[in-house]
Structure 1
């Protein structure tokens, strides 16, 4: 299962339509469709919005090459007390990992 399918599954488990996701993420419905079908790759701005709008999303589960365990909770980080500085550091690390992953994937496709 690839990232776009995992993201679509995450939204489905949350009961969020493609149109609603687009509104929440300030992205057009057609662009959401392109992301969710894998026709377009997401950029770091979209990933940041994704983390802000859906703070419980586990990007490692979404963007890893590991096959997902298809239980609903697999795409969630457990709730915890929020430390803003710590959360920003975690987000920066996640963005770095995603950029590295996308760069490696792009390199492998050439």
Structure 2
């Protein structure tokens, strides 16, 4: 949890570093001046959007420093980046990123990717199931659209 008093102190360090007052800082990051005032007075807690705007406009600000006081300000070039590669040990393996066009077998995004054979089997089973509902042989399928829960879709034209 972020300690508000400490966060405000670190925010004041940023203001001093860049020589900005609260109003100019609020204008620069694109937030209302009143929200900046409420934050500095301790009335409100910083939102994720507020913190991300600071990081976007001021690249010298380190995320972990502004939230927890760990790290340094301004960022040092020789410090390791705060990403997954800095946290993962040497013996640990990382799987490659998954493309949005990949097919998923289950509802969540963290499941294993289907193999080509599994996908073909699903298509065959789906077609066999749906073909029993066809009323006449004159109706032809124009196209089949599969919508996946990860937001992607595939169009098949038989």
In the TM superposition, residue 12 of structure 1 has moved relative to its aligned partner by 1.2
1:75 aligns with 73
d(CA) in 2 for partners of 1:29, 1:58: 23
1:51 to 38, 50, 55: 55
d(CA) in 2 for partners of 1:45, 1:29: 15
User: Which structure 2 residues correspond to residues 1-110 of structure 1 after superposition, within 5 A?
Assistant: 2-64=6-68, 74-79=72-77, 90=83
Larger relative contact order, structure 1 or 2 (CA cutoff 8 Å, min sep 6): 1
Q: Which runs of 5+ in 2 are unaligned?
A: 84-158
Q: What SS does the corresponding residue of 2:16 show, helix, strand or coil?
A: helix
Could you say what the CA RMSD is over the residues aligned between the two structures, in angstroms? 2.6
TM-score by length of 2: 0.42
Q: What SS does the corresponding residue of 1:2 show, helix, strand or coil?
A: helix
Distance change in 2, residues 1:51/1:65 (3 Å): closer
TM-score by length of 1: 0.58
**Deviation string for 1:18-62 (max 9, x for gaps)?**
011110111121111111222111111111111111111023222
Higher alpha-carbon Rg: 2
Structure in which a larger fraction of residues adopt strand? 2
d(CA) in 2 for partners of 1:65, 1:35: 17
Structure in which a larger fraction of residues adopt helix? 1
